[in-house]
Amino acid sequence: MNLITFDNIVKDPKKYVEEIEAYGFQEISSGDKTFSNIQPRGNDDEFAKFMLTLFPGYKIKWNVVRKSDPSESSNRINLDGMTGDITAILILTEAEKDGEEGIVIFDEEQNVLCTVYSRFNRMIAFDATSIKDKDAYQLTAKKEILKLSQVIFLEENK
């Protein structure tokens, strides 16, 4: 698995989050799947433009912001059914202390491949084709904390 991280992706992350919050969240459906607390984003979004510059041979298949629900029994980013060749996650929640929370990536046997510590405005991107379970990453934050993250799934241009 290849993994990269970059910090300070969005130029004004607090304003970016305010704009996201202003549009609200909804349920969206794709086939037989329904995703809750989602905000679909376009390809002209600042994070999307960054990803297309970083990966010029790819196109965006999905670009969504997800707001976690503190009442959920799991902190998994439940986007199973949204897939791509590369998954990129942008952390949009400020942690009380950097490194206190993170994203854990698992293989198909649920073994931990790696943990990347969260940091506000940090992007984590990895080769999703090496992971059989497309819902194989989770936030390790305290459950009572609302988490906001933007997830982009890229697929290779053919």
Q: Which domains does the chain have, with CATH numbers?
A: 3-156 (2.60.120.620)
The amino acid sitting at 6 is: F
Q: What string of pLDDT tens digits covers the 158 residues of the chain?
A: 788 999 999 999 999 999 999 998 988 877 777 778 889 999 999 999 999 999 999 999 999 998 876 555 444 455 566 778 898 999 998 866 545 567 777 766 777 777 788 889 999 998 876 554 444 444 444 444 557 889 999 999 98
| pTM of the model as a whole | 0.82
> Are 105 and 136 in contact, with CB atoms under 8 Å apart?
yes
Question: Which residues lie across from 34 on neighbouring strands?
Answer: 29
What are the Cα distances from residue 144, in Å, to 2, 70, 136?
A: 31, 5, 21
Pure H helices in the chain? 13-23, 46-54
> Are 118 and 103 in contact, with CB atoms under 8 Å apart?
yes
